[in-house]
Amino acid sequence: MKTLSQLNFGYTDAQNYLDGQPSLHFKNCFLADQHLTQLKDRKVYFLIGEKGTGKTAYAAYLSQYSESTYNGSTVFVQPTDYYNLVSMQLRLGDRTVADYSDAWQLALLTAFFHRTNTLFPQIDSGPVAAIRQALDHFLLGTYGGEIADSLEFIKASREISAYLRGSAGTAEPHSPDVPLTVHHKFLLQKLRDAIGSYPQGLQYCLFVDGLDVRPSELAYDTYIQCVKGLANAVWILNATVFQQFADQDFKIVLLVRPDILHVAGLQNLNTKVRDNALLLDWRTDYSAYRNSALFRLADRLLASQQDPPEQVAGAAWDSYFSFNVFDRRTEQYTDAPFIPFLRSSFYRPRDILTYLEIMRQRMVALGEGDQDKFTSDVFVDKAIRGAYATYMLGEVRDSLSFYYKIEEFELFLKFFEFLSDYIDRRARFFSYGDFVKAFHALEEYAARNKDELPVIFQTPDVLLQFLYELNVICFKIQPANRKYPITRWCFRERSFANLRPKVKAGADYVLHYGMARALYTDIL
């Protein structure tokens, strides 16, 4: 087995694998599981998953590294794209979801055309050549297929419409009284004609990523209007435009968090999610973890780096983690070493990868990089637990910033200072009554300092639900026929029918094990 210093766990953000430089490491380590097969289905338009569940990784693999005939690419919506889109709509006097949807349709279809027309450089006439020439003419050959380029194309829609009509010898609606929306619809039809004229049998998927981060200066309500328009545009293009091309397998897939899709306002969301979405699900049970995709992913990460690669499932993991860990219930060393990974994570690939890398770096720093095994000390090492807890808290901060200003994260941390007196340091347990006491203490603190509490602090129950959705806490249920209580985590309860599970009020709660030390350094 390779030594710890020789192991490479790669990037935690798969966007780094989309820089145009093929990565043999990523290709070899990637777990081509049932999610990948399902994602290729022509009817899947939305790839749903929380941060760190692998949305970008799947898009990257199918965009650059798939060994099949599957063609695809990934485009990222950048913060400036939202500002440009809002600015365009303000100039038109439109800011409805429908108006944003029209603009997104044109932008996405323009990007789709650019990514696909390069597959047919031999086509030098007809609708494909006409759109290609218009792109080159009005963007001076600088069009790169990004959303920003598409928005520049849209800004010149009046001139491009006249250019294309002139090339076709048709009348030109050059009057300034003609609404821009007329030119947008004309360009959409021209793009449809061009894409529909491609040779038969082509398959292509454009992945749209970048919705997890809201631009800091863009108001939440405005951003949501943009996102609603984008989600509607993806649905319309897939369901009404690409479905017309019976001999082609075209689609656009939006990578989106469940909470964001929930507020996107799609009609018949439940039906669309069931029929046209893939929910990345890494859930497993302690007793069945070796059959889980999450374990197979961790094992492949180690096995693929051996020379030659380890072919026996689970063998690489067992070699690097050849010990048992302490089980608090039995008070014996009977737990498999993968169990602490599950306890410390949100059951996401990014969590497992990050924990492994923190462990590896720590052992290398201690002069043990020449070892080819991890030791049981990695699970009790305070430096490792502290670094991982900081990472987990950072994930929560990033999720929080989607809804609120980053300054409000300080109030989030302040709340846990008030909750500190009520937390059982061993079990990380607190009651609903204690939670309410801490909440009122925060209210008094804000009043003394004349701080305006954000919306998540409207009531104790609103904050409780928010913490639950962030997976900071879970609630406990004690069935009469069970010795131990059942813990209900949001990420484990989520399903197609329930994208935003609800917390139980008036219950008992547990702070997440993985991030507990970032909030309370004396947590056991």
**Neighbouring residues of 16: CB distance < 8 A, sequence distance ≥ 6:** none
Q: How far apart are CA 132 and CA 135, in angstroms?
A: 5
Name the H helices within 374-520. 382-403, 408-419, 432-448, 460-469, 490-493, 516-519
pTM for the full model? 0.91
Tokens of 423: 């937390």
Phi, psi for residue 424 in degrees, rounded to 5: -75, 115
pLDDT computed for residue 133 by the predictor: 87
Q: Which amino acid belongs to residue 228?
A: K
The predicted pLDDT at position 95 comes to: 58
Residue 97: the pLDDT is 57
**Which regions in the chain score pLDDT beneath 50?**
169
The string over 54-93, giving b where at least 16 C-beta atoms fall within 10 Å of a residue's C-beta and e elsewhere, is bbbbbbbbbbbbbeeebbbbbbbbeeebbbbbbebbeeee
Whole-number pLDDT of residue 41: 93
pLDDT of residue 277: 95
pLDDT at position 418 is 95
* Rounded Cα gap, residues 467 and 404, in angstroms: 14
Burial class (CB in 10 A: 0-12, 13-18, 19+), 218: middle
| Distances, alpha carbon 1 to alpha carbons 341, 374, 389, in Å | 21, 12, 29
